[in-house]
A and B are shown apart, each in its own frame.
Chain A
Amino acid sequence: MEIEINGRKIKLSNLEKIFWPASGYTKHDLLRYYIDVSSYLLPYLADRPIHFQRFPDGIEGKRFYQINAPSYAPSWVKTFPVQSKERVRNYMLVNDLETLVYVVNLACLEIHPWHSRITDINHPDYGIVDLDPQEGVGFKQVAHVAGVVKDVLDSLGLSGFPKTSGATGIQIYIPLRTGYTYEQVRDIVGFICAQVHKKEPHLTTMERMVKKRGATVYLDYLQNLWGKTINAPYTVRPVPGASVSTPLSWGEVCGGKVSPADFTITNIVDRVKEKGDLFAPVLSGGQSAATILRQIEK
């Protein structure tokens, strides 16, 4: 089965394979979703090195990471070499629909872009407060903590934009002006998390040892590092129901009426068409965190 997109031919395989056994969604449904959502998703992937996780037999089968471009990738798939301490990795860049379809056909279900772009690889575009509920913590509590993050951001004069992780958490993106290093962004987000923890010391934790966290929401600011990645907005997660990482309005987060499982590959495209891309500000404008950096230095 071959499909042609912008003059590039892509072989599609196993379209009828069931990827979500409980819901019956197939690989075709996955491809169809990514194609339909592509005009909203691609801006969050463009020019960023990407970590993929592949699920060739669906979400209950084996899974493995695809970081280097496969040797058999077509020559038109753009790549970008990144030198880390140990090795050079040849990342695939998903800048267009044809590359998106190519990687999704490889069953790259999880798509995790870097926080910085290849035009300025050492400087992230945003900081992320990753709210990771530990076992026994429901989404209501996560949403409550997200509201506290918003209060802290408001008091600092910053805007943040929440999205469901697609599984159990919420991630809040804080667009920053270019030029901050990864270490600075980690410190900025760490400062914000510390303030949140001060306001809700029992509901949240900044403890790095998983065992010591208890039934709290883990305020993870350590994802803001060079080479770390987080699943992009509008990407599907390997969980039953095929839920999608979905940008929310603060009204939805604080209203307590939504749950991550509400947003799946079957309804996101309609939602985005209706509400627009709530995450657009993340890409369109940076904010200065000079006041935070000054306070940290004190």
Chain B
Amino acid sequence: MRTIWKGAVSFGLVSIPIKLFPATEQKDIKFRFLHKTCQAPIKYQRVCSACGQEVTQEDIVRGYEYESGRFVIMNEEDLEKIPDERTRTIDIIDFVSLKDIDPIYFDKTYYLAPNDAGEKPYALLRKAMEETDKIAVAKVVIRNKESLAVIRGYGNFLVMETMLYPDEIRDSKLLPGFEREVKLHDNEMKMARELIENLATEFTPEKYDDEYRKKLLELIKAKIEGEEIVIPEAEAKGKIVDLMDALKASVEMAKKAGQVKPAGKRRKKAAGE
């Protein structure tokens, strides 16, 4: 594993030198875009929208669009002017209970490993949190973004979960479909409870895997080996075809049942006059 960041966890007077590693990875299968005729990868060029010239990395600056089409340039020196002593430390602010934090706040997970002579305070923090059943809330700056984070024990290690700020959580009041009050009958609740109890089990993560990814990988492997690929008819697709067939049949029926007569012709002289 490659270290992505080195610094220290500061906790009262104690400072624990640590290294940071991403704890999770996305296993999405990546496709590259190819030119259909040459089957060669597509290359992207950075081109200026004004002069049309290709632009190299050195010629690129950062701009903040404060109104449409108007930018203020922010260069490295500007960013360095912001006083920030925490860029190399993870500052523990509070200790709280894990169950008090709703999972909606958690963003990314990192492993923390002790760096030079940090083993003892590292073990101390981990053990003390375990015994008090608390986790640490900290502030951390990674790559110009200040995040809230929690540090907690995970087996023999410390992990850090970066968190979203409350204003980054979208307001659930904006969710549609909750305008009406719902009345639940005792019988319905009883049925639902029984259903849950029937499916209740221990959480074993190994049990779940990505079926789609597995099938896609098999398909890719088969193609590499030159096998003919038979794509099984997906259930959902069959259903859509049915829907279309049903609609087409309806259209035919509707046409037979007769079209609207043009208005005006239909209305003869008014009755009773």
Contact = CB atoms under 8 A, between A and B. Distances in A.
A5 B247 CA distance: 11
B177 interface: yes
Contacts of A119: 263-264
Contacts, number: 94
B247 A32 contact: yes
A36 B244 CA distance: 14
A3 B266 contact: no
A116 to B, nearest CB: 11
B162 to A, nearest CB: 33
Nearest to B250: A35
B267 A3 contact: no
A3 B247 contact: yes
Contacts of B244: 1, 3, 12, 15
A60 B251 contact: no
A251 interface: no
B205 interface: no
Interface in B219-256: 236, 239-240, 243-244, 246-248, 250-251, 253-255
Contacts of A177: 270, 273
Contacts of A62: 176
A46 interface: yes
Scoring B261, B268, B270 by chain A CB atoms within 10 A of each residue's CB, the highest score goes to B270
Contacts of A60: 176-177
B270 A285 contact: yes
A47 B257 contact: no
A213 interface: no
A185 to B, nearest CB: 14
B262 interface: yes
A39 B248 CA distance: 15
A1 B254 contact: no
A199 interface: no
A95 B264 CA distance: 13
Nearest to A100: B254
Contacts of A15: 240, 243-244, 247
A46 B260 contact: yes
Contacts of A284: 266-268, 271
Given A28-B243, A95-B260, A35 B266 contact: no
Given A38-B254, A95-B260, A119-B263, A285 B272 contact: yes
Contact of A35 (B243, B251, B263, B270): B251
Contacts of B271: 284-287
B258 interface: yes
Interface string A25-62: 00010011001101100110011000000000100111
B258 to A, nearest CB: 5
A96 B260 contact: yes
A39 B243 contact: no
A42 B260 contact: yes
A62 B257 CA distance: 35
Contacts of B255: 5-6, 97
A286 B243 contact: no
Contacts of A96: 259-260
Nearest to B176: A61
A288 interface: yes
Given A43-B260, A178-B270, A12 B247 contact: yes
Contacts of A46: 260, 262-263
A47 B236 CA distance: 39
Contact of B270 (A21, A42, A287): A287
B176 A16 contact: no
Nearest to A28: B243
B251 A283 contact: no
B270 A283 contact: no
A235 to B, nearest CB: 15
Contacts of A101: 251
A285 B236 CA distance: 49
A89 interface: no
A144 interface: no
A39 B266 contact: no
A57 B176 contact: yes
Contacts of B264: 47, 119
A101 B259 CA distance: 14
Interface of B: 176-177, 236, 239-240, 243-244, 246-248, 250-251, 253-255, 257-264, 266-268, 270-273
17 contacts: A3-B244, A12-B244, A15-B240, A36-B254, A39-B254, A39-B257, A43-B261, A46-B262, A47-B263, A61-B177, A95-B263, A178-B270, A285-B270, A286-B273, A287-B270, A287-B271, A288-B272
**A-B complex: 8 closest residue pairs judged by Cβ atoms:** A285-B271, A286-B270, A39-B257, A42-B260, A47-B263, A35-B250, A177-B270, A60-B177
Given A95-B262, A177-B270, A283-B266, 20 more contacts: A1-B240, A1-B244, A3-B244, A3-B251, A15-B240, A15-B243, A28-B247, A35-B250, A36-B253, A38-B257, A39-B259, A43-B260, A60-B176, A96-B260, A101-B251, A177-B273, A178-B270, A284-B266, A286-B272, A287-B270
